[in-house]
Amino acid sequence: MPITERMVADLCAGLYEKALKTLPSDVMEALRKAEEKETEPIAKRIIASIIENVKMAEESDLVVCQDTGLPSYFFKIGTKSNIVGDLKKAIAEGTLKITQDLPLIPHCYHCITGFNPGTNLGERVPVVHFDIIPEAEYIEVTAAPIEGGGEFFNAFKNFRGLTRPDPIEFVKKFVIDTIASAGGRPCPPLIVGIGIGTSFDKVTMIAREASIRPLNIRHPDPFIRKIEDELLATINKLGIGPMGMGGDTTALAVNIETGHNGPCRPVAIKIQCWAAMKASARIYSDGTVVYL
């Protein structure tokens, strides 16, 4: 039995809804730790209200945040999976279904006129990324709607990447300056996803992947891991705090993803607010769905 359009549409709708109504356990754990460690009373209170909000969303079957994002999915297709029908059509159908059923306030506007078709669908929206998993008999889908607040403050810069590259301190300074100038506007506590290296097109992609990487998974290279730790500590010394009202908790995590580059070393920063909407599942060729 193959994976059908209907199965994929239902899965997309289900994952989008789950992403909106829950907060991943790794983010919750980081919030609880931050609440415990926070020394500013107002900041502590704000983090407590965030934790209470997530509980209320679960108890009352509500969305965590009213910004339900620009629809976006990551698809990893097992090379031994059996799919029939049009995947892209299925993704659009599932997105439209949840947009109408919940209903959502669609934040999908025409790029020139600003017209909102009201469907959460548009040219190149949902934003979908495809990858493959060798030999696997399933498709792995992640719904990760893109919230507007953090997106405003994403940044990109080129550095020299030749045999005598710019020192890594240049990159660190770029990150700190970006966070400092954003201040409270992207709704801290933040998750900072950073892409270093690869190419112009790929680096923003790995920055995004870094921003949805579970907060308890660290970069495998100890040198990069050290940069993650250092940046997190420095960001939290800025004193921006939750919602920009001061405190020790400006970021919950700094996640870096890396890759080799040519003569130019691009760096991209994806700023994610605390409401890190994401949900994943695998769908097997026999129709079984396993939520991850």
Partner 1 sequence: MKEIRLISPLNESDVRNLSIGDVIYLSGRVYQILGPGSTKAMEYAKRKEKLPFELENGVICHIYSSIKKINKDWKLNYAGVSTSTYLPIEPNFIRNYKIRALIGKGGVGKETIDAMKEVGCVYLAFTGGCAALFTTRVKGLEAIHWEDTPERVIAFKVEALGPLIVGIDARGNSVYEKIDDEVKKRLLKIRIMPSTV
Cα(265)–Cα(222) distance, integer angstroms: 20
Task: Tell whether residue 50 is a contact of partner 1 (CB under 8 A).
Answer: yes
Task: Tell whether residue 225 is a contact of partner 1 (CB under 8 A).
Answer: no
C-alpha distance from residue 254 to each of 95, 125, 233, 240, 283 (Å): 30, 28, 9, 16, 31
Among 37, 89, 160, 173, binds partner 1 (CB under 8 A): 173
- Which two structure tokens, joined as six digits, stand for 190? 């933040």
Residue closer to partner 1 by CB (options 99, 255) is 99
Rg (CA), the chain: 19
Instruction: Kindly indicate which of the ranges 48-56, 117-125, 126-134, 262-270 contains the residues binding partner 1, using the contact rule CB under 8 A.
Output: 48-56
Residue closer to partner 1 by CB (options 206, 273) is 273
- Which two structure tokens, joined as six digits, stand for 189? 């506590």
Among 64, 91, 253, 281, binds partner 1 (CB under 8 A): 64
CB of 80 to partner 1, least distance (A): 40
- Which two structure tokens, joined as six digits, stand for 100? 């109408």
Residue 40 φ/ψ, nearest 5 degrees: -85, 125
Task: Tell whether residue 145 is a contact of partner 1 (CB under 8 A).
Answer: no
Task: Tell whether residue 41 is a contact of partner 1 (CB under 8 A).
Answer: yes
Among 105, 111, 290, 292, binds partner 1 (CB under 8 A): 105
Residue closer to partner 1 by CB (options 24, 244) is 244
Among 244, 259, 264, 285, binds partner 1 (CB under 8 A): 244
Cα(273)–Cα(47) distance, integer angstroms: 13
Cα(163)–Cα(101) distance, integer angstroms: 55
Among 121, 127, 245, 289, binds partner 1 (CB under 8 A): 245
| Nearest in space to 71 (alpha carbons), one of 177, 148, 165 | 148
Identify the burial level of 134 via C-beta atoms within 10 angstroms of its C-beta, where 0-12 means exposed, 13-18 middle and 19 or more buried: exposed
230-22-68-175 Cα dihedral, nearest 10 degrees: 0
Residue 110 DSSP one-character state: -
Task: Tell whether residue 240 is a contact of partner 1 (CB under 8 A).
Answer: yes
Among 7, 57, 251, 279, binds partner 1 (CB under 8 A): 57
Instruction: Kindly indicate which of the ranges 11-19, 77-85, 212-220, 225-233 contains the residues binding partner 1, using the contact rule CB under 8 A.
Output: 225-233
Task: Tell whether residue 66 is a contact of partner 1 (CB under 8 A).
Answer: yes
Cα(229)–Cα(224) distance, integer angstroms: 9
Among 18, 185, 202, 218, binds partner 1 (CB under 8 A): 185
Cα(220)–Cα(242) distance, integer angstroms: 29
Q: Which residues contact partner 1 (rule: CB under 8 A)?
A: 41-42, 45-46, 49-50, 52-54, 56-57, 60, 62-67, 102-105, 149, 167-169, 172-173, 176-177, 180, 183-185, 187, 223, 226-227, 230, 234, 237-246, 273-275
